[in-house]
């Protein structure tokens, strides 16, 4: 069990379920903090944020964009496709929420290291400021 490289997400989570039984005094927050870095590493390695970005803010303009419905339904679907089980998914969502990603679009705005959605947002804002200042 020391094999590394191509190890699926679940392998980084060994010991997590044991940890869970020790949560009487400080509940989920401590768990979330303890796994956040690993979760983000796994999500980045599996290009999760790119898939989410592609769904909500597709590169090809003719491709229909998925609308955020205020939940993590797109996030959940992508994680399902990547073999995350429901325990993994609830951990991932807890971590994303702790980073301000309270729904699919907020994941891209707040939790993702970078996203097209956020870049576009700031491009629009900057353009707006420029046009306000120009006359």
Burial of 104 (C-beta count, 10 Å sphere; 0-12/13-18/19+): buried
Among 55, 56, 103, 111, binds Zn ion (CB under 5 A): 103
- Binding piece for Zn ion, criterion CB under 5 A, among 34-42, 46-54, 95-103, 107-115: 95-103
| Binding string, residues 56-75; x marks residues near Zn ion by CB under 5 A | ------------x-------
Residue 14 to residues 10, 17, 88, Cα–Cα distance (Å):
7, 8, 11
* Size of the residue set binding Zn ion (CB under 5 A): 3
Q: How far is the CB of 106 from Zn ion (least distance, A)?
A: 5
CA angle 67-73-77, nearest 5°? 110
Find the length of the chain. Answer: 135
Among 43, 78, 105, 111, binds Zn ion (CB under 5 A): 105
Binding site for Zn ion (CB under 5 A): 68, 103, 105
């Amino acid at each position: 069990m020391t094999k590394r490289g191509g190890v699926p997400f679940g392998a980084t989570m060994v010991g997590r379920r044991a940890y869970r039984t020790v949560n009487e005094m400080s509940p989920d927050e401590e768990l979330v903090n303890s796994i956040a870095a690993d979760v983000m590493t796994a999500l980045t390695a599996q290009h999760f944020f790119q898939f989410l970005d592609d769904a909500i803010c597709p590169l090809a303009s003719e491709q229909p964009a998925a609308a955020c419905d205020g939940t993590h339904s797109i996030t959940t679907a992508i994680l399902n496709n990547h073999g995350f089980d429901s325990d993994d998914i609830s951990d991932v969502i807890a971590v994303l929420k702790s980073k301000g990603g309270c729904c699919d679009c907020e994941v891209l705005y707040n939790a993702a290291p970078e996203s097209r959605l956020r870049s576009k947002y700031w491009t629009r804002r900057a353009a707006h400021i420029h046009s306000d200042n120009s006359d």
